[in-house]
Amino acid sequence: MTNWRDYGAADLPTPLAAALDAFVEHGYHGTSVRDIAARAGLSVPGLYHHYPSKQSLLQGLLELTMSDLLRRSEEALDAAGPDPVDRFDAVVESLLRFHMYRREQAFVGSTEIRSLDPEYHRVYIGHRIRQQRMVDDVVGAGVADGAFTTTAPKGAARAVATMCVGVSTWYRVDGPMSADELIAQNLQFARAIVGYVPR
């Protein structure tokens, strides 16, 4: 099992990697199946053999994205132990790292929700709710423990998650701060949002 902090290149099937590049560049509706097939080095019939529609490519990409995110968040929480502050820091760091190192996948996941068909839209939203509940639960536990002083734990948890997701829109590997420096800074921001009280 890999460490939840370890990120190499995204291990996507070739058609999904091609779809990701095209969706980032042109958006879902601006991308043709022919373009995806060309990027994947396949004929259109060859692409359809693996994925029968452009929608199935988007769904396959987002399903892999969310399963990776949820797995990493759950592993981070498991490794953190019972202390609510440690658990909060772990799930926030996991969200930050994911939205830094899987920036393009996260970007497509955030911007193309409107492009999903209704049946899969419900599934995808369910994944997002599951992730948000992890943040809700650790914030609630911190409030119950007296470590966090926010009087609006659900709103604070949503603000923290939104901050982490937003990293995918601006993070650059060659930016002025290292990944670890940005994570440390944003952990401070997240703790401030929930009203962390050092003991």
- CA 160, 164, 170, 174 dihedral sign is positive
* Angle (deg, nearest 10), helices 118-145 and 179-194: 70
124 and 62 Cβ atoms separated by less than 8 Å: yes
12 and 61 Cβ atoms separated by less than 8 Å: yes
Tokens, residue 100: 């830094």
pLDDT of the residue at 2: 65
Distances (CA, A) of 199 to 148, 171, 183: 11, 32, 22
pTM: 0.92
Closest CA to 61 of 119, 10, 134, 97: 10
- CA 119, 123, 124, 126 dihedral sign is positive
User: Which ranges of 81-152 would DSSP assign to H, the alpha helix?
Assistant: 84-101, 103-111, 118-145
Q: Which amino acid type is present at position 154?
A: K
Cα gap 99→94, rounded to integer Å = 9
Tokens, residue 127: 């994944």
Tokens, residue 9: 């290149």
4 and 96 Cβ atoms separated by less than 8 Å: no
Question: Could you list the pLDDT tens digit for every one of the 199 residues in the chain?
Answer: 469 999 988 889 999 999 999 999 999 999 999 999 999 999 999 999 999 999 999 999 999 999 999 999 999 999 999 999 999 999 999 999 999 999 999 999 999 999 999 999 999 999 999 999 999 999 999 999 999 999 999 999 999 999 999 998 888 888 888 889 999 999 999 999 999 988 7
